[in-house]
Amino acid sequence: MVPLSWYIILSAVVFSIGVLGFLMRRNLIMVFLSIELMLNSINISLAAFSHYLQSITGQIMVFLVITVAAAEAAIGLAILMAYYKNNPTIKADEINLLKG
């Protein structure tokens, strides 16, 4: 039997790698991909809790999180396209219209 804490620690490590990518990358597409990575790590921990607590609620939560992730990716990439039409760059450190 695999202990529950192994799953939770795997989830924490993958979440931290997602945070790392979010803070380090310049390409905004990769920043969005890091956000998807973080959502996936949360899904792992929710599914593990669902299995070990013998409850179905965790799996329902994963279902809802996947839906929100799909909506987030669609809206985020649409914002990216709209920005690229005005200023042709998607580098995170060169987008500074609101910097003042």
**How far is residue 82's CA from residue 10's CA, in Å, rounded to a whole number?**
36
* x/- map, 27-66, other proteins, by CB under 8 A: x-xx-xxx-xx--x--xx--xx-xx-xxxxx-xx-xxx-x
State the binding string over 61-80 for other proteins (x if CB under 8 A, else -). -xxx-xxxxxxxxxx-xxxx
35 vs 25, 60, 87, 88, CA distance in Å? 12, 20, 23, 23
Among 18, 86, 96, 99, the residue binding other proteins under the rule CB under 8 A is: 18
Q: How far is the CB of 100 from other proteins (least distance, A)?
A: 19
Q: Are 92 and 33 in contact (CB under 8 A)?
A: no
